[in-house]
């Protein structure tokens, strides 16, 4: 379960940091595509993205009760083979056709810019391009900051063509559904329509009958609902927010954390296959994948994250599409921040995100 921190408790600890140094804004050099799909994998560490299963955790009985089976599935003595076993689509397709940032072994860094390194502030940063010090907890409150999804939806070219499907039920507050017309389906919310398909009715039935509903819906249900929406409505901007990696990490279940990462990789592969086999999307869609925060670096701290847990601000990012040069894994020294993603989202579809608050510049893509 997500860690909820009271804003009142945090007030005593808020430290206002100085301005971050961002790369030059070269948004005009970003070649836009007709569509953009954004996928977030909640709380998934860069360590597993770039090196696969962590030997210090997979061999720890406290977090991995069946080491033999897990190692059979995901272990190899070479990091490059381990990561392919865990995330085969990432390392057989995206690494050849796109760009992947955040391997700190090469001093290529991606970080959150907010002080808190928890989910709501992380997603606020990603979608608003701003780090509001008052956005400091995971509690359900309407986000006062404009986000890039609602900005794009307000433009004639994207009207009625922006949608979000998320496992975590707090997203209607993060994206402030009360204020805008972005279609948002979150948590165990039904997917409704005048003439629901047999598949939609089945998904709704399974959701209603699920036991012990938590704040995070099963990612597979989120993905299935999202696919049905995509097939019917064909949005231009689509956000898929997956959350079970974070849930299993908080439970200390490294086996389920790795299994869910592997399943997420398969979902992204299936999503990309649909994109590349659907007219209007094929060779006209950019895919952007990232996470909202990191986790503790030490084996005993990987289950947690937050302001005072080292490694929690360390993230990663991947992009692939017709306007993205196939540079693969970036192994050069560099520093990017999640706060730059909002303006990048706009640039990737040929727009500039203009909001009442200041926003960080777009990422300088290769």
In a domain, 167, yes or no: yes
Q: Is residue 108 part of a domain?
A: yes
Half-sphere exposure of 203 (CA within 13 A, CB side): 25
What pLDDT digit, counting tens, does each position of 224-241 carry? 999 999 999 999 999 999
| Overall domain count for the chain | 1
Domain membership flag for residue 63: no
What is the pLDDT at residue 21?
A: 61
Residues 6+ apart with CB under 8 A from 278: none
- The answer as to whether 65 is a domain residue is no
The string of DSSP letters for 228-272 reads HHHHHH--SEEEEEE-HHHHHHHTT-HHHHHHHHHHHHHHHHHHH
Write down the pLDDT at residue 5. Answer: 43
For the chain, the farthest-separated pair of C-alpha atoms sits apart, in whole angstroms, at 55
Can you give the residue range of the structural domain that contains 164? 37-44+94-348
CATH of the domain at 101: 3.40.720.10
- Output the pLDDT for position 231: 95
- In this structure, is residue 156 part of a structural domain? yes
pLDDT along the chain (366 residues), means of 10: 43 38 51 93 98 97 96 98 98 98 98 98 98 97 98 98 98 97 96 76 87 89 96 97 98 98 98 98 98 95 97 98 95 97 98 97 87
In a domain, 220, yes or no: yes
Q: What is the pLDDT of residue 28?
A: 43
List the one residue out of 72, 21, 84, 41 whose CA is nearest residue 255.
72
pLDDT score of 153: 98
Give the pLDDT of residue 30. 73
Nearest to 258 by CA among 3, 111, 85, 81: 85
What is the C-alpha to C-alpha distance for residues 222 and 243, in angstroms, rounded to an integer? 10
pLDDT at 211: 77
Q: What is the DSSP string of 141-166?
A: ----S--HHHHHHTSGGGTT-EEEEE
Q: Could you tell me the end-to-end alpha-carbon distance of the chain, in angstroms, rounded to an integer?
A: 38
Interval 172-201: pLDDT, tens: 999 999 999 999 999 999 988 656 788 888
CA dist 337 to 23, 111, 308, 362, Å?
A: 10, 5, 19, 10
Range 200-205, long-range pairs (CB < 8 A, 24+ positions): 200/225, 200/228, 203/228
Q: Yes or no: say if 120 and 176 are a contact pair by the CB < 8 Å rule.
A: no
Residue 296 lies in a domain: yes
Q: Are 19 and 355 in contact (CB under 8 A)?
A: no
- Residues facing 109 on adjacent strands: 335
pLDDT number for residue 213: 79
CA distances from 230 to 37, 213, 290 (A): 11, 25, 21
pTM of the entire structure? 0.92
Would you say residue 199 lies in a domain?
A: yes
Nearest to 127 by CA among 103, 111, 143, 138: 143
Q: Are strands 162-166 and 237-242 parallel, antiparallel or unpaired?
A: parallel
């Amino acid at each position: 379960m997500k860690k909820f921190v009271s804003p009142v408790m945090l007030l005593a600890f808020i430290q206002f940091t100085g301005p971050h140094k961002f790369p030059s804004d070269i948004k005009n050099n970003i070649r836009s595509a007709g569509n953009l799909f954004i996928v977030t994998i909640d709380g998934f560490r860069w360590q597993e993205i770039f090196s696969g299963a962590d030997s210090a955790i997979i061999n720890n009985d406290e977090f991995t009760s069946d080491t033999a089976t897990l190692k059979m599935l995901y272990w190899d003595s070479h990091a490059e083979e381990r990561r392919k076993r865990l995330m085969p689509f990432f390392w057989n397709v995206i690494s050849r056709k796109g760009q992947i940032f955040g391997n700190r072994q090469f001093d290529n860094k991606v970080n959150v810019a907010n002080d808190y390194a928890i989910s709501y502030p992380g997603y606020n940063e990603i979608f608003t391009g701003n780090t509001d010090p008052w956005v400091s907890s995971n509690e359900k409150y309407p986000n006062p900051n404009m986000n890039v999804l609602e900005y794009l939806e307000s433009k004639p070219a994207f009207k009625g063509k922006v949608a979000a499907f998320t496992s975590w039920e707090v997203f209607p507050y993060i994206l402030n559904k009360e204020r805008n017309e972005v279609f948002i389906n979150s948590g165990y919310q039904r997917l409704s329509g005048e003439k629901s398909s047999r598949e939609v009715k089945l998904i709704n039935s399974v959701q209603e009958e699920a036991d012990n509903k938590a704040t995070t819906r099963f990612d597979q249900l989120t993905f299935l609902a999202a696919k049905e929406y995509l097939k019917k409505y064909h949005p231009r901007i689509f956000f898929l927010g997956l959350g079970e990696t974070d849930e299993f990490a908080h439970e200390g279940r490294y086996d389920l954390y790795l299994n869910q990462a592997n399943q997420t990789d398969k979902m992204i592969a299936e999503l990309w296959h649909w994109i590349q086999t659907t007219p209007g999307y094929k060779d006209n869609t950019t895919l952007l994948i990232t996470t909202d925060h990191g986790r503790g670096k030490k084996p005993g701290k990987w289950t947690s994250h937050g302001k005072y847990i080292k490694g929690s601000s360390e993230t990663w990012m991947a992009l692939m599409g017709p306007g993205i040069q196939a540079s693969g894994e970036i192994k050069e020294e560099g520093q990017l921040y999640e706060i730059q993603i909002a303006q990048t989202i706009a640039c990737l579809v040929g727009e500039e995100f203009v909001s009442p608050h200041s926003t960080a510049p777009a990422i300088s893509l290769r």
